[in-house]
Chain A
Amino acid sequence: MTLPPSAIAIRGLCKSYGKAEVLHDIDLEIARGATTCLIGPSGSGKSTLLRCIAFLEEATRGTILIDGQPLGFEERPDGKRVRLPPHRIRAVRAGIGMVFQQFNLWPHMTALGNVTEALVTVKGLSRAEADARGMAQLRRVGLEARARHYPSELSGGQQQRVAIARALALEPAILLFDEPTASLDPELTGEVLNVMRDLGAEGMTMVVVTHEIGFAATVGQRIAFLDHGRVLLNGTPGELFAAPRHPRLTQFLETYLDRGAAMLLQPA
């Protein structure tokens, strides 16, 4: 048992699409109140792993515990893996917020409408109360003034910040980010990363799939390096990036030489 107890505990997780197994027996503990970055080459399974934690993909085997509660499936003492009833799945998922690469804002709702939708539809709050809470979240991401704008009237960076506010509105204990800046140009990337940095500083538990190695190295407290569906390395940025470095990680980082991560390759 790790101390402090993990926000997310992943045990023996496997995920297959037909015959192709994309996650092999993943064991991973995600620390509470910390930012964990999942890095790795394309096809390494990092997004699939994150989507399993969001229960957007159902793992083929293994368990995921969110604050000790099983997500989606439970392993019985006799070894049988059973799917939990919808209300129990929903209850555990409620503690998890998700931010997507493509923002996925609903185009027919304003920024505020996107943020308040679940507060009204799911939580049953009054319009006024939901709006007040929604505005507070938009303020948190610096977009109070854009509340009445539709997604099409916002920049990519602003849309992603609205998407973060939407996830925050339900007050989740864990926020998942699936390559949140991969669709943004460098300038807009900065504004989104700043919001994420602030959230990390506030002690939000975050799991971030990212290609922003610089962000991972500076903001991530833990980094898991995935390769071919396995967690190859898992530790603090210092442990991972300091020499002697795992050869596979060095090989991966070399692809970032032209992308501002050269400093990571300097001999320690």
Chain B
Amino acid sequence: MSFDVSVVLAALPAILSGLKVTLGIWLAAAAMGVVLGFVVAALRHFGPAPLGLALRLVVEVLRGTPFLVQIFLLYFGGPYVGLSLDPVPAGLLGLTVYAAAYFSEIFRAGFAAVPRGHVEAAHCVGLTRAQIVRRILVPEMTMLVLPQCVNMAVILVKETAVLSVIAVPEATGVISAIGSQQYAFLEALFLLAVIYWGLVEACGWAGRMIERRLSKFRFA
């Protein structure tokens, strides 16, 4: 058996379109997941207790079940509750909610990790509660959680591969299909590994750049 990646690479336009979908879903789900996760964490930290408890339950379920199961439930179970979505919107929604659960935990821990004294010092100079959140808590929390957020983004890019099971035309689905048409499974899988690894490296590199820029803000 020969190993020839060029067989797969011959279908370059299809590969690029798959890559585009992967990138698009990844970045959109990460961005929306961060926003939604932040809102959930803020509501849990500052909101009424019953709401916090309800949100915690949802987050625990989302973190406690495999993404593969969640996406099957959403895509195949959704229509039973009136939620019929095409593969791409379903994948985007599923990955966003999944990401939000994890991001909210990261932010929650971040809020809790801001030293109490920093908030007390702000009270002492007369900042209001809202000003303390905006000027002290959120910036300090962001510095604290940045490494975990980069890590989560890395996990997310790999989770996009799962979306191939509901026929989202992303890289894994497209390239493995080419592989089976060309009888070049290994080459296709190899190419996929290289692509994901490249994306993860790029993400890690971006994270390190941001961290370096923020390094002088570190806790004394």
Contacts and interface: CB of A to CB of B under 8 A. Distances in A.
Tell me whether A and B are bound partners: yes
Interface of A: 54, 56, 90, 93-94, 96-98, 100, 102-108, 117-118, 121-122, 150-154, 159, 163, 166-167, 169-170
Interface in B117-149: 117-118, 120-127, 131, 135-136, 139-140, 143
B140 A107 contact: yes
B216 interface: yes
B126 A167 contact: no
Contacts of A118: 125-127
Contact of B117 (A96, A102, A166): A102
Contact of A121 (B121, B127, B143): B127
A238 B112 CA distance: 46
Contacts, number: 77
B120 A106 contact: no
Given A102-B115, A104-B118, A107-B218, 11 more contacts: A100-B117, A100-B121, A105-B220, A106-B140, A107-B219, A118-B125, A122-B127, A122-B131, A150-B217, A152-B219, A170-B125
B125 A122 contact: yes
**8 nearest A-B residue pairs (beta carbon):** A118-B125, A104-B117, A104-B121, A98-B124, A151-B220, A122-B126, A152-B220, A108-B217
A93 B126 contact: yes
B124 A107 contact: no
A43 B139 CA distance: 34
16 contacts: A90-B126, A94-B126, A104-B121, A105-B220, A106-B121, A106-B136, A106-B140, A108-B143, A108-B217, A117-B125, A117-B127, A118-B126, A121-B135, A152-B219, A167-B124, A169-B125
Nearest to B217: A108
Given A93-B126, A98-B124, A159 B220 contact: yes
B147 to A, nearest CB: 16
Nearest to A98: B124
Contacts of A154: 220
B125 A56 contact: no
Contacts of B121: 98, 100, 104-106, 163, 166
B220 A56 contact: no
Is the interface on chain B under 10, 10 to 19, 20 to 34, or 35 or more residues? Answer: 20 to 34
B220 A106 contact: no
Nearest to B121: A104
Residue from B115, B121, B220 with most neighbouring chain A CB atoms (10 Å) = B121
Contacts of B217: 107-108, 150, 152
Given A102-B117, A106-B140, A107-B218, A117 B124 contact: no
Interface string B26-67: 000000000000000000000000000000000000000000
Contact of A100 (B120, B127, B216, B220): B120
A75 to B, nearest CB: 24
A102 B124 CA distance: 14
Given A104-B115, A107-B143, A121-B135, A152 B125 contact: no
Nearest to B125: A118
A41 B121 CA distance: 25
Contacts of A150: 216-217, 220
B133 to A, nearest CB: 12
Contacts of A100: 117, 120-121
A111 to B, nearest CB: 11
B126 A153 contact: no
A96 B220 CA distance: 25
Contacts of A108: 139-140, 143, 217
A149 to B, nearest CB: 9
A121 B131 contact: yes
Contacts of B139: 106, 108
Contacts of A153: 216
A118 B217 CA distance: 19
A163 B219 CA distance: 15
Interface in B79-132: 115, 117-118, 120-127, 131
A108 to B, nearest CB: 5
B217 to A, nearest CB: 5
Given A106-B136, A107-B140, A107-B143, A166 B218 contact: no
A129 to B, nearest CB: 17
B156 to A, nearest CB: 26
A167 to B, nearest CB: 7
